[in-house]
Amino acid sequence: MRIIAGIAGGIPLAAPRSLARPTADRVREALFSILGDRVDGAAVLDLFAGSGALGIEALSRGAHSALFVELQSDACRTIEVNLTKARLRGGEVRKMEVLRFLKQSGPSLAARFDLIFADPPYARDEEKRKILDNLLNQKDLPMLLKQDGLFVLEVMEHTPLPSSTPWQEMDRRRYGGTELAFLTKAADPAT
């Protein structure tokens, strides 16, 4: 695993032992090719950050800042190591469970992020399906995204998203067993 492009392109990234499936280089390369100029100067939120590969790639490609939220201690240490190795600035790591972070930080970080990345545990069983459903139905998450922002969700192929969420799916791309869902805030029916 490595940083694909930008000022830190080619630098290898460490992966924490607790990380079951880091986002593959080819998936990250495709994602950032799709995002293009959206990354330059962006404020990024990387949820379920793991190694921090998505947020670090964004910083390397010109993002202004990246906030990494991860519960596992070894993953948080790995993100710090990767940021230091890549000599990237603007990264901040928060060791916290994602849903708790959203509930506690929602109002204080309202409309702060241009891009939100989330790579929750793949919904292979009912417990992990609940994590995905709770994330997508969490009322504070859309508040964090700027009006013209984009939420990129990594899921296992053929994973249906709940239909009654505050999100509108704009696009979905498949890369092997991984799919990237590109979401925006759903239009408010009251307006």
Q: Given pLDDT bands bounded at 50, 70 and 90, which one contains residue 123?
A: low
Sorting pLDDT into bands at 50, 70 and 90, what band is 17?
Answer: confident
* The pLDDT of residue 66: 98
Mean predicted confidence (pLDDT) in 88-97? 96
Per-residue pLDDT band at 121 (split at 50, 70, 90): confident
More confident residue, 64 or 123: 64
In the predicted structure, residue 151 carries a pLDDT above the cut 50: yes
Q: Own/partner pairs for 93-97, CB < 8 Å, 24+ apart?
A: 93/49, 93/52, 93/68, 94/67, 94/68, 94/69, 94/70, 95/70, 95/71, 96/69, 96/70, 96/71, 97/71
Other Cβ atoms less than 10 A from the Cβ of 119: the count is 23
For the chain, which residues make up each domain, given as ranges?
25-185
- Cβ neighbours around 30 below 10 Å, total: 16
Mean pLDDT of the chain: 90
The mean pLDDT value for 155-163 works out to 86
Residue (of 62, 79, 115, 66) closest to 1 by Cα position: 79
Pairing of strands 65-70, 43-47: parallel
Q: How confident is the model at residue 191, as a pLDDT? A: 40
Among residues 99, 97, 110, the alpha carbon closest in space to that of 43 is found at 110
**164 pLDDT above the threshold of 80:** no
Fold assignment, 25-185: Rossmann fold (3.40.50)
pLDDT attached to residue 190: 46
Two tokens at 79?
A: 């993100």
**Is residue 102's pLDDT more than 90?**
yes
Query: What Cα–Cα distance (Å) separates residue 15 from each residue in 19, 22, 79, 92?
Result: 7, 7, 8, 17
Cα(97)–Cα(90) distance, rounded to whole angstroms?
Answer: 21
DSSP 8-state symbol, 12: B
- H helix or E strand, kind and range, residue 142: helix 140-144
